[in-house]
Structures are given as C-alpha cells and as structure tokens.
Amino acid sequence: MPAQRNNMLESTAQVVTNWAEKWFPDSYIFAALAVVVVAMGAVIIGSPVMQVGIAFGNGYWSLITFTMQMVMVAISGYVLAVSPPAAALITWLAKLPRSGRWAAAFVALISILTSLISWALSLIFAGLLVRALARRTDLRIDYRAAGAAAYLGIGATWALGISSSAAQLQANPASLPPNLLAITGVLPFSQTIFLPQSMLMALIILVASVAIAYFSAPHDINARTAAELDIDVQDDAEITAEINQEMATTHNRPGDWLERSPLVTILIVGLGSLWLWQEFTSKHPIVAITNLNSYNFLFLFLAMLCNWRPARFLKAVSQSIPSIIGILIQYPLYGGIAYILTHASNIDGHTLAHYISEFFVAISTHTTFPGVIGIYSAILGFFVPSGGGKWIIEAPYVMQAAIDLKVHLGWAVTIYNAAEALPNLINPFWMLPLLGILRLRACDIVGYTFVQFILHVPLVLFLLVALAGTLTYLPPVMP
C-alpha cells in the first residue's frame, strides 16, 4: 500500500502520542504529583505544613460518595451495554462507518450527542461502541484515536447539556448554599444551558470536535488496531455466548434454577419501578435523571431487566470490574487536592483557591471577564476536576464579580461550563472509567485529546467573549 501524506493534525497527534507513550506516567502518578504541586502552593502562601497535611487527610475520603457513584456508573453502564438488547444496538451502530477515520468521527458525534443528555451515559456507551468497532474485521480503526473520540462528550460539551452540575445547582434554590443564593438568586435553564447563545456554542464545538477527530485520526496504513495493541475486544461478545452455554447445561439444585430463572429479576425490578415512578413523576424528568443516584438506580435496574436472568447479570458485573480499579484508588487523591485548595489557610485565613480566584477577578473588566474567568476556571478545573464541587468554590467570587461588572449571570454560568470542560481533555480524572472499559492507559489517548485541547482553547475563549456582547445584564431574581 503506498504511503499516505499526513495532514498537520494527524502528524501532531502522532508526535504527541509517541511522546506520551514514552514520558506520560500512569494516571495514578499524575494524580499523586498534582497533590504535591498543590501542597507546595499552599505552603508558599503561608499555610502551615501540618495544616496542609490535615487538609489532605480530611479531604481524602471526602469524595467517597461520588467515588461509589462513579463505580456504579461504570458497572451499570457496562452491564447494560453488554446485555442482548443494548449490545444489538451498539453492534448495529458499529456497522455504519465505512473507514477508520470516519469511525473516529462517528464515535465523537455519538459521544457528544449523548453527553448533552448525560455525561455518564456518554462515557460508557461511546467506550463500548469503540470496542464494537474494533471487533470489525473489515475495518482498520486506530483504537487509540477512537478511544480519544469516545472521551469528547465529557471533554468538550457535557457541561453545556442538561446534566450540567452548575446549571442544575443554580436552577434549584433548595440545593443552593444560602451564601450563594443570596448573591445569584435563581437562574432557570432558560438563562443558562437553553440560552440561544449557549446552544449555538454547543453546536459549534460539536462540529469542530468531530472534524478534529476525523482529521487527527491516522490513515489506515498508520492505524494501530486493538489487536496490535494486544487488547482483547472479544470478551464483550463472549459473555452472552458463555452464559448461553451455561444456560443449556442441566442443573438439578434449586439454587441453580433460581440463578437462571427471571423470577427474581422480575420481582426486584418491579419493586424498584415503584420508586422510579415516584421519582420521575414528582420531579421534572430532566431534574430526576441528572441526579447521579437516580441515574444509577435507573440504569442498574434496566441492566438487570435487559440481562433478564441473574446468572447473566452477575457474569456481566464480574466482567466490568477492571473498569473501576483506577476510580477506586485515584479519586481519593483528588478529594485531598480539593481540600488543600479550599481548607489549608494561612495566618490571614485565606486559602490557595482564594488567591487564585482573587487574582483573576481583579484583572477582569466587563469586556475581558468571559475570557479571563474562562482561563481561571480551566486552570482550577485541572486540579479540582469536579463540576459541582468546583462551582461551589468559584461561584461566590465569580458571580459577585459578574454582578459588579454587569455581566449576564446566566452567561457567567456558561463561561464556567464551557471552560471547565477544557482541562478534562488532558486530565486523567474523568478518563478512568473509559480507560478501564477500553483497557487503555491515559498515555494512549492523550496525544489525540491534546490536539483537541490546543484547538478548543482559543475557539472556546473566542466564543465566550464574542457571544457575551450579545447579552444584556439582568439582576438576580430571588425565590
């Protein structure tokens, strides 16, 4: 096959990927080094070393609930996706692309569209779509580029969709901390994610991301498939065949019959359906589904139903375990980072997060506010990669500055939403569930996500500044 000339995006992605494969550490090392950097920053501003250590320890388990929620996101998503109905849908979708580069672009499109509904669904569904594409013998797809494309939902657009933590928080006065409610009032979705300007930004980012995914993916001759990376992508398809074989085996124990009968599944799912009915009828469905506990409950019980028999369900759960190892061991480190930033104070009572936010707010004007705060939000998001938690840190300073500078408050939330997704493209925190499903390392996909990052940053900052000029300031509305 004659050599094909690489375009600039493909060449850049390959150079960065080659560098990352050699020099980029395991995501655990990345998180551990981030702890050290933030701790040193806290000491430099005058926080006592002992207080920094205490803050780290106090924060270490602060994300335990979120960690468990993310574990269930990965498990329920995987188990649902390998069930016969969902696997059939993914298999059908995987038949559509006609080339490796179009496959990467297609994965990016699916990832981004699903992220506007639910970031968790995007992460798991797109990852399993990549595995299904990799099983095609007639398609030579670069497994790393496709994996990076599967990450674009959470790396580009999720916070501009209905699962945006900041937009959800601002729209629900009962959930807002009293000090923040007193500053911002209530901001309905019509002032944040459903602003025409916000939806236009999401559309532009979608088109740009899909185009970058296509042009940065290697041509067939340069592609590295899952097989060439020594990754087995057949185990998803083997689950059903293995369990079907077990089902055909004669078992005489009553316990065997219960494991293979749908009776237990029907009873449990029926009971859970009563709670789901109450949850989705007492709240707006969009509000209900964006609650992680409700989301996990829905998808776990849907996974039970789609797998139908307990034996099939339990086998799928056991196959999902590799996808959660990174979550369990690394998320506590990020909890410690967040606490050092926000709880390790100096003699004046100020924390590192306070000084960072004070600096960026102080250099802002009405015109530069979107760009400056966007940069600040992205930098802080690199160290505190948690949408809702980071908004609690930023909002009091950012929203007060927006009021003082007469910046549209809903657009200030959009600034946060768009900018805080940027560091996700190079931070392994949110990659972990996806990497577990794909059996890849962060260094395998970061070359391609880095290309997205360097092109997204100027695009997003330009849109934040340009579209801000089309909006008029509205004073806070108290409930």
Does 116 map to a domain? yes
Higher pLDDT, 92 or 16: 92
Mean of the pLDDT values across residues 330-358? 86
Range of the domain at 446: 8-246+325-468
| C-alpha closest to that of 413 among 451, 369, 383, 446 | 369
At 390 the pLDDT is 65
DSSP 312-338: HHHHHHHHHGGGGHHHHHHHHHHHHHH
- pLDDT of the residue at 346: 94
Phi, psi dihedrals of residue 17, rounded to the nearest 5°: -65, -45
- Other beta carbons less than 10 A from residue 139's beta carbon: 19
> How much is the pLDDT for 242?
62
Task: Please check the confidence at residue 11 and state whether its pLDDT lies above 60.
Answer: yes
Instruction: Give mean pLDDT, residues 279-286.
Output: 84
Range with the largest mean pLDDT of 156-165, 336-345, 372-381, 447-456: 447-456
The answer to the question of residue 252 being in a domain is: no
Is the pLDDT at 277 greater than 90, yes or no? yes
What is the C-alpha R_g of the chain? 23
Residue 4 pLDDT class (50, 70, 90 cuts): low
Tell me if 263 is assigned to some domain: no
For residue 1, what pLDDT is reported?
A: 43
d(CA 113, CA 338): 30
Q: Kindly state whether residue 165 falls inside one of the protein's structural domains.
A: yes
Is the pLDDT assigned to residue 19 strictly greater than 70? yes
pLDDT, averaged across the chain:
85
**Maximum separation of any 2 CA atoms in the chain, in Å:** 76
pLDDT tens for each residue of 380-400: 777 766 655 567 667 777 888
pLDDT of 46 strictly over 50: yes
Query: Model confidence over 238-251: pLDDT tens digits?
Result: 655 665 666 556 56
Partner residues linked to 185 by β-bridges: 477
Does 347 fall in a domain? yes
Q: How many domains, in total, are found in the chain?
A: 1
Look at residue 420 in the predicted model and tell me its pLDDT: 85
Give pLDDT, residue 76: 86
Provide the pLDDT confidence category of residue 107 given band limits of 50, 70 and 90. Answer: very high
Question: Can you give the pLDDT at residue 3?
Answer: 47
- State both tokens at 473: 């300031």
In a domain, 191, yes or no: yes
- The structure tokens listed for 200 are 């236009």
* Nearest Cα residue to 331 out of 118, 13, 124, 35: 35
Count of CB atoms situated within 10 Å of the CB of 4? 12
Q: Are 264 and 310 in contact (CB under 8 A)?
A: yes
Number of Cβ atoms within 10 Å of the Cβ of 51: 16
Is residue 276, in this structure, part of any structural domain at all? Answer: no
d(C-alpha 460, C-alpha 209), whole Å: 12
Record the tokens describing residue 72, joined without a space. Answer: 């269930």
Domain-embedded: residue 154: yes
